[in-house]
Structure 1
Amino acid sequence: MESKSKLINDKQYDEKKAFSEQDLKKFSSFYEYPAYIDLQQRFELYGRPLIEQTYYVLTEGVSRDTIKINGKELINFSGYNYVGMSGDPYVSNAAIKAIEEYGTSVSASRSVSGEKPLHRQLELKIAQFIGHKEDSIVFTAGHATNMGTISHLFGENDLIIHDSLIHNSSWMGTILSGSTHINFPHNNMDALDEILQKHRKYYERVLILTEGLFSMDGDIPNLPKLIEIKKKHYAFLMVDEAHSLGVIGKTGRGICEYFNVNPEDIDICMGTLSKSFGSCGGFIAGNHKFIEFMKYTCPSFIFSAGMPAPNAAAALASIELLEKEPQRITDLHNRSKLLLDLLKKAGANTGDSKDSPIIPVIVGDDELAIKLSFALRKQGIYVLPLFYPAVRKGQARIRFFVNSTHTEEQIHYTATVVQEIFKQFKK
């Protein structure tokens, strides 16, 4: 930091480029901020009431197969409680017991006095669940896990090549790292290989960054090909398994189980605890040496309070329960396939979603996506619209999250209603 300050202090400015007092007044107002102006334009375009009834809606109870809004129970496709761990008595009781023993906060960074037995038990359990990984490190938030890890491990002499549809947390980590970065077309392995062929030899470390299951489209990258490419070009491979771990693969062990490849071939395995594991937080899994390095050097871990004990206990109990009850994964897969097949028969554009509980219905037009969401809500189905910047322009959609607690009756009813609404909109 000192060297950067010195550079600024010694910098010679071109007075012709100085801002006027009028400019400075404008820049001192948050309400002149381009992003704020853009938001107000969106409110004006769609109407504030419509936006406020769509996002940040107050919901009641546990988010499972149903959810309550204003006292009305709706079939819920808005949350990612994929295997029903949040709200399960076994998981809830584990969290309650942890509160009784450790309180609601560890009240310190784990490097100081916030290290609890539950943290280590959870970290070892995560590694064991993934398979072939020796250890893991848990962070208090999934977003901070990606942002902190990527920006810590890579720098200005490095290159990050990422899928064009990576999550915001990975994108922010890429920007903060100061690395040169290039995106490759979504899941296009030939394009990735060409980029590496052209640029690899001009950088020290190179990271290939992708996801195990993409949260907006419900599609899965070609992991065997990614591994082949990363080995060919001496690159690191990082896979964000936020939505794939506890979801895909015969027993829910993620993208490596899905493709039957060795997890050791993924250099940096990231995941979250807020989806299939009924809690909150994120983790990085790897060998002992790598995880030890992260624990002693990663700023977003060291300078953050440790994960609250009840969160750690809930995640640990969720993994234990999933191992005891693998039928949850089977149910999730069956319900997901059923909805996907029925929506396709109804004429819905579900994109490239496959073997996934994330099923988009792509309509293209922003306003149409909002209207479709509201029409479904009137029929007792809660599913939310997505449009730019959450997805690419012209790719507006509603997105279904299926979970193992959904019944076949709920799935059939939903598909029937979607088909009827499509017919109404076409009139």
Structure 2
Amino acid sequence: MAGVSADPVDASVTSREAAWDLYEMIQACLQAPSYHLLFEAVLIVWIIQLLFVKSYKAKATLTEKEKEELIEDWRPEPLVPEVDPEHPVLQDMENRLIDGKIGRHVNINGKTYLNVASMNFLGMSGRVDIEASISTEYSQAEVAIDTVKKYGVGSCGPRGFYGTVDVHLELEDKLAEFMGVEEVIMYSYGLATISSAIPAYSKRGDIIFCDEGVNFSIQKGLVASRSKIYFFKHNDLEDLEGLLKAQEREDKQNPKKAKVTRRFLVVEGLYMKYGDFCPLPKLVELKWKYKVRIFLDETLSFGTLGATGRGITEHYGISIDNIDLMAASLEHAFGSYGGFCCGRSYVVDHQRLSGLGYCFSASTPPMLTTAAIKALSILQENPELLTKLHDNIRYIYEKLSKINGLRVMGETVSPMLFLQLAGPSDNRELDKAILRKIVQKAEEQGVVLILAAYLEEEEHTLPPPSIRISVSAELTHNDIDRVVSVIDDCYQNTVS
């Protein structure tokens, strides 16, 4: 027959091998630690349970009575902390309605006031006489209106998706040419500009040396970076260099870690809480000496400092190539909205994928973009705007310095000045109440001032209470004389 029979010898060998394997397995189990066997048994039971037991249990339906009880007991958390309705800030804001454009004068509840509260340094917002004096076809407002007719009110999307319009690219090109840098990136919100740029580069494990007097936007950027933060005293170079030397010694002890650790120095060109400048020349020296990267926030100094408005670098005569990243705002000097970062192309391009405010925020409305383009054109064609602004600042600084009982803080060419009590008390709220009365009495005499306000529980450092004075190129010397006279009179009446 053609069939093949099994060999009994081979079958016997196979059975002996199987028996021997079983014997070895049993011996291995007996020799294994008891906790190991227990762990394997638990795993087997768990696997069986996953295979045969349902992954969910049907929930019993609540009765109408139970639903009503749950709804009655539920107390939603407030979106914001409760505020005392008698809070002075709320009292000041009550029943106020601003009508029309905000410029040298502002209309509140039908009454015209002299305005030194708005940060409209070059008078771009609502100013007609500047626009009319330029031999161009359209004013800034007319350009914005025409843009709305062509593009609509907004792009409705982030720049990286479907939010980029040709005017965005035009403004970036014009700003890059104006600043003398390789590339510019625009953000749709001024506050988000520097707070997005910092965490785009500095990550966990990196080190940031930062002036303790920086603005709130920078502080949020520091938190988002999750880096190791070293604060040095405001504009105290000795304190800063002490921190840099300490880090240098630590790097020598651990060179392997030092090679992968990035170090940044974050400062403002013109400090928003103090009105003074950073000592940029010395900071640049420390940059090269200790190998740190400088991030410079020119929110207030862009468009106000320097012969042509290029900011603190032009004011000091320092090449912008010494700055690794510069951020600025279009919301103050330019009377538009948003901000931008500028520098070398490889630095700027990185933000197009990692700058949160750029990647996830809708782009700037085209009408505000063309308004910024027009403002840049106005500034370039009218350099006398800066001459007038600087003259007004020096004039008002000199006049305010003569008020007995008040102390003026800030630089003599800073468009933002602060008035503090010359003899402050130990009670911050009491000092604020005195200054608030001065603001209220000044308004009664037709001058709008503003008390500097901060998120006190969240600020890293708090400057003394003060009245913030924003100087504009639109003001005349007669306007300034009136402002100073009103402040002096109100202060004397308040403390007498």
- What TM bracket, shorter-length normalisation? 0.7 to 0.9
Q: SS in structure 2 opposite 1:67?
A: strand
Q: Are the structure 2 counterparts of residues 393 and 54 from structure 1 closer, same or farther at C-alpha, using a change threshold of 3 Å?
A: farther
Q: Does 1:422 align with 2:491?
A: yes
**What is the CA–CA distance in structure 2 between the aligned matches of 1:160 and 1:244, rounded to whole Å?**
22
TM-superposition CA deviations, 1:46-70 (whole Å, max 9, x none): x336533148953222221111111
Name the residue aligned to 1:58. Answer: 97
Name the residue aligned to 1:173. Answer: 221
Asked if the contact 1:388/1:396 (under 8 Å) is kept, the reply is no
**What is the CA–CA distance in structure 1 between the aligned matches of 2:155 and 2:454, rounded to whole Å?**
39
**What is the CA–CA distance in structure 2 between the aligned matches of 1:275 and 1:101, rounded to whole Å?**
26
Asked if the contact 2:392/2:476 (under 8 Å) is kept, the reply is yes
Q: Are the structure 2 counterparts of residues 300 and 265 from structure 1 closer, same or farther at C-alpha, using a change threshold of 3 Å?
A: same
Q: Which structure 1 residue ranges, 5 or more long, are not aligned?
A: 1-27
Q: Which structure 2 residue ranges, 5 or more long, are not aligned?
A: 1-74, 132-138, 252-256, 425-430
Q: SS in structure 2 opposite 1:362?
A: strand
Name the residue aligned to 2:20. Answer: none
Quote how far apart the aligned CAs of 1:180 are.
0.8
Q: Which amino acid aligns with 2:488?
A: Q
The match for 2:417 among 339, 354, 359 is 359
Q: Are the structure 2 counterparts of residues 118 and 344 from structure 1 closer, same or farther at C-alpha, using a change threshold of 3 Å?
A: same
Q: SS in structure 2 opposite 1:289?
A: helix
Moved more, 251-260 or 356-365: 356-365
**1:1-16 equivalences in 2 (<5 Å):** none
Asked if the contact 1:83/1:328 (under 8 Å) is kept, the reply is yes
Q: SS in structure 1 opposite 2:308?
A: coil
The match for 1:136 among 172, 184, 190 is 184
**What is the CA–CA distance in structure 2 between the aligned matches of 1:168 and 1:395, rounded to whole Å?**
16
Q: Does 1:334 align with 2:407?
A: no
Q: SS in structure 2 opposite 1:104?
A: coil
Name the residue aligned to 2:270. Answer: 213
Higher Cα radius of gyration? 2
**What is the CA–CA distance in structure 2 between the aligned matches of 1:214 and 1:104, rounded to whole Å?**
33
**What is the CA–CA distance in structure 2 between the aligned matches of 1:62 and 1:101, rounded to whole Å?**
24
Name the residue aligned to 2:157. Answer: 108
Q: Which amino acid aligns with 2:436?
A: I
Asked if the contact 2:287/2:294 (under 8 Å) is kept, the reply is yes
The match for 2:87 among 48, 56, 67 is 48
Quote how far apart the aligned CAs of 1:112 are.
2.0
Q: Are the structure 2 counterparts of residues 381 and 266 from structure 1 closer, same or farther at C-alpha, using a change threshold of 3 Å?
A: same
Q: Which amino acid aligns with 1:159?
A: I
**1:2-401 equivalences in 2 (<5 Å):** 30=77, 36=81, 39-40=83-84, 47-48=86-87, 51-54=90-93, 57-88=96-127, 89=131, 90-131=139-180, 133-200=181-248, 201=251, 204-347=261-404, 348-363=406-421, 364=424, 365-387=431-453, 389=455, 395-401=464-470
Asked if the contact 2:96/2:109 (under 8 Å) is kept, the reply is no
TM-superposition CA deviations, 1:74-114 (whole Å, max 9, x none): 11111111111122452112211221221111122222222
Name the residue aligned to 2:477. Answer: 408
Q: Are the structure 2 counterparts of residues 389 and 308 from structure 1 closer, same or farther at C-alpha, using a change threshold of 3 Å?
A: closer
Identity of aligned residues (%): 27
Q: Which amino acid aligns with 2:446?
A: G
Q: Which amino acid aligns with 1:120?
A: L
Q: Are the structure 2 counterparts of residues 56 and 107 from structure 1 closer, same or farther at C-alpha, using a change threshold of 3 Å?
A: farther
**What is the CA–CA distance in structure 2 between the aligned matches of 1:278 and 1:94, rounded to whole Å?**
14
**What is the CA–CA distance in structure 2 between the aligned matches of 1:193 and 1:405, rounded to whole Å?**
41
Q: SS in structure 2 opposite 1:220?
A: coil
TM-superposition CA deviations, 1:339-368 (whole Å, max 9, x none): 110000123301243311111101241111
Q: Are the structure 2 counterparts of residues 296 and 383 from structure 1 closer, same or farther at C-alpha, using a change threshold of 3 Å?
A: same
Name the residue aligned to 1:21. Answer: none
Quote how far apart the aligned CAs of 1:299 are.
3.0
Moved more, 288-297 or 92-101: 288-297
Quote how far apart the aligned CAs of 1:176 are.
0.9
Q: Which amino acid aligns with 2:123?
A: G
Q: Are the structure 2 counterparts of residues 54 and 342 from structure 1 closer, same or farther at C-alpha, using a change threshold of 3 Å?
A: farther
Quote how far apart the aligned CAs of 1:161 are.
1.4
Q: SS in structure 1 opposite 2:118?
A: coil
TM-superposition CA deviations, 1:219-240 (whole Å, max 9, x none): 1111101111111111111111
Q: Are the structure 2 counterparts of residues 30 and 197 from structure 1 closer, same or farther at C-alpha, using a change threshold of 3 Å?
A: farther
**What is the CA–CA distance in structure 1 between the aligned matches of 2:226 and 2:114, rounded to whole Å?**
44
Q: SS in structure 1 opposite 2:411?
A: coil
Quote how far apart the aligned CAs of 1:290 are.
1.9
Q: Which amino acid aligns with 2:197?
A: T
Following TM superposition, the consecutive aligned residue runs of length 4 or more in structure 1 with deviations greater than 4 angstroms are 54-57, 387-394
Name the residue aligned to 1:10. Answer: none
Q: Which amino acid aligns with 2:81?
A: Y
Q: SS in structure 2 opposite 1:350?
A: strand
Q: Are the structure 2 counterparts of residues 56 and 359 from structure 1 closer, same or farther at C-alpha, using a change threshold of 3 Å?
A: farther
**What is the CA–CA distance in structure 2 between the aligned matches of 1:393 and 1:108, rounded to whole Å?**
37
Asked if the contact 2:275/2:418 (under 8 Å) is kept, the reply is yes
Asked if the contact 2:410/2:416 (under 8 Å) is kept, the reply is no
**What is the CA–CA distance in structure 2 between the aligned matches of 1:119 and 1:326, rounded to whole Å?**
24
Q: Are the structure 2 counterparts of residues 426 and 237 from structure 1 closer, same or farther at C-alpha, using a change threshold of 3 Å?
A: same
Quote how far apart the aligned CAs of 1:334 are.
0.8
Quote how far apart the aligned CAs of 1:182 are.
1.6
Moved more, 364-373 or 322-331: 364-373
